Chain A
Amino acid sequence: MNGGHGPGGGHGPGPFARGIAWATALYLLLPLSIVLPVSLTDQRFLSLPKHDISWQYYHNLFTSPLWLDAMAQSFWIACAATAIAVICGTLCAIGCWRLARRSTEVIRALMLLPLIIPSIVYAIGLYRYFAWAGLLDTFLGVALAHGVTGIPYVIVTVSTALAAFDPRLEQASRGMGASLRQTLAWVILPRIMPGIVSGGIFAFIHSWDELLIVLFIASRNVYTLPRRIWNGINENLDPTMAAVAVLLIGMTLALLLLDMALRRRREG
């Protein structure tokens, strides 16, 4: 039972289950890998390379002010949104964890609403609301919207980290006369840092990829990368999009591997 075999011992999954699993894994991964050869095409339209591979579309991507500007905007918005989500989410998770009563359970559940309610509902509401508040098509408006919808990711990861934290450490710290601020900074935050970083990574990816809210609340000034891609797919299907896709997949892979390394350190 131990060593070579999994928990099933000699009774692993049958050929039918293995077949489904392999087919599903290929279905999940293969379509994504197609963008790599397509991004290297020598043709003028979306297709596999015919005669030779060509880097022209990467060249296009990194010399086009439109794409570069969209990436820069998305990056700064994601940074601001991540800061909002991480600060609010972490503090809230700690407060709920320490108070641990019915009312804080309700607050925690409310914080998860953005995961449950479809973005379209929030987007149309925000469109009206921001028009009234004068925040349409502003950096601040988009960062606030992405920040508040990023809070749940931080709440989930930080709460998980706190579940493994011994509350007596906090009591001991307060008992020896440390203020709340000192307890937070020296006792609690260092122990849950991996959870905070994980939450930050997910909040960042969330903002960086978010399209629907931006479609509603941004027009000329704020032109993020997902909006640029959206218009590209709807209008011309230029192979430069494949190069963008490869870049984005690479970024996501890097962030995921970073998160996995952090988790292993936390568990190890």
Chain B
Amino acid sequence: MRRDTGWWLLIAPAFLLLTLVYIAPIAQVLAISVMEPSPGLGNYERLFTSESVQRVIVTTLRICIITTAIALLLGYGLAYVIALATERARRWWLLAVLVPLWISVLVRAFAWVTLLRRQGVINEGLIAAGVITEPLALVWNETGIVIGMVHYMVPYAVLPMLAAMREVDPRLLAAARGMGASRGFAFSRVFLPLSMPGVIAAGVLVFIFSLGFYITPALLGGGRTLMVAEWIKLQILDLLRWGLGAMMATVLVLAILATLVVFSRLVNLRRLFGGGA
């Protein structure tokens, strides 16, 4: 329809920019993964033959699963209390979630280094208090990565769970309690099942964000524990193995898209990423 031409023109600048400056570079990564160093699926073969490729995948999955589990547990407790809080209290609780969410990830990693390193605030404090004599290895290992990543992911876990919990009719809980259910029973048989869609949505979100996470693992892992994103950077900037790095990047994107497709039946993705309507 002619009348619609103007509206389509409004979409054009964003669409062109996205295509030229976003989609084209990413498509190029996919192309490099099958073209370099020689055309074919040689890079993908490494998934099955190279021990170092397999090790980085296993490490990444292990850290992501641990991070997701802890972030969901902590986030659920927080979201539950926020959902049942009074209007005034809810605003303060939300601030405690949103402030860390928007503070630079670099600043957060820096704060953790300050706290956790051998001469850091926690170790110095514990030694001064006489609790330990040798500093604990809290950072530049997998422990440090998990501490920092959970810290980053908890807000992302809270928000979808909170949205789901706020749709649970509070009268159901009151009814269960009124009919004699204990607090624990009312929670596990009424509230928990009804909030499950939020838990799954949060789990998917945290897991896919964790998979490709770079900054926190790189700073708190100290180069010894490599996750996928840092490994890709190493292959490309330091070892100049473009094909291998691009292959892993492609696998990363495919893993994320597959997770989204599998869970799109259970989770309303449009709501997860803030669909407008």
Binding site for B on A (CB under 8 A): 1, 4-14, 17-21, 23-25, 27-29, 31-32, 34-35, 38, 45-48, 84, 87-89, 91-100, 104, 107-108, 110-122, 124-130, 144-145, 147-149, 151-152, 156, 158-160, 162-163, 180, 205, 208-209, 211-212, 215-216, 226, 229-230, 233-234, 237, 241-242, 245, 248-249, 252-253, 255-256
Contacts and interface: CB of A to CB of B under 8 A. Distances in A.
Contact of B170 (A7, A115, A122, A127): A7
A27 B219 CA distance: 19
21 contacts: A5-B86, A7-B170, A14-B183, A20-B78, A24-B77, A29-B99, A35-B111, A35-B114, A92-B14, A104-B11, A121-B29, A121-B212, A124-B236, A124-B249, A125-B27, A126-B25, A144-B17, A148-B18, A162-B276, A212-B214, A212-B215
Central interface residue in B28, B73, B155, by most chain A CB within 10 Å: B28
Contact of B78 (A25, A92, A147): A25
A104 to B, nearest CB: 7
Given A21-B80, A28-B151, A124 B29 contact: yes
B13 to A, nearest CB: 5
Contact of B186 (A11, A113, A128, A233): A11
- Label chain A's interface by main secondary structure: helix
Contact of A233 (B110, B212, B229): B110
* Band of interface residues on B: 35 or more
A10 B23 CA distance: 53
Interface of B: 4, 6-11, 13-15, 17-18, 21-29, 32, 73-78, 80-87, 89-90, 93, 96-100, 102-115, 119-121, 124, 151, 154-155, 170, 173-174, 177, 183-184, 186-187, 208, 211-215, 219, 229, 232-233, 236-237, 242, 245-246, 249, 252-253, 256, 260, 273-277
A255 B101 CA distance: 13
A237 B213 CA distance: 22
Given A17-B80, A256-B98, A24 B25 contact: no
B213 A21 contact: no
B106 A226 contact: yes
Contact of B108 (A4, A31, A226): A31
Given A28-B155, A93-B276, A128-B25, A116 B260 contact: yes
A102 to B, nearest CB: 13
Given A27-B74, A28-B154, A34-B114, A147 B108 contact: no
B84 A8 contact: yes
A185 B245 CA distance: 47
B114 A242 contact: yes
A118 B214 contact: yes
A151 B105 contact: no
A116 B18 CA distance: 14
Contacts of B113: 233, 237
A148 B21 CA distance: 7
Contacts, number: 281
B277 A118 contact: no
A170 B124 CA distance: 64
Contact of A122 (B15, B22, B213): B22
Nearest to B125: A48
Contacts of A111: 14, 18
B273 A253 contact: no
Pairs A-B, 6 closest by C-beta atoms: A118-B212, A159-B276, A20-B77, A125-B25, A7-B170, A95-B10
Contact of B99 (A5, A113, A253): A253
Given A125-B28, A156-B273, A95 B154 contact: no
A180 B6 contact: yes
A226 B108 CA distance: 12
A57 B10 CA distance: 48
Given A116-B260, A122-B22, A125-B25, A94 B81 contact: no
Given A87-B13, A121-B212, A124-B245, A29 B100 contact: yes
A92 B15 contact: yes
Contact of A12 (B84, B90, B256): B84
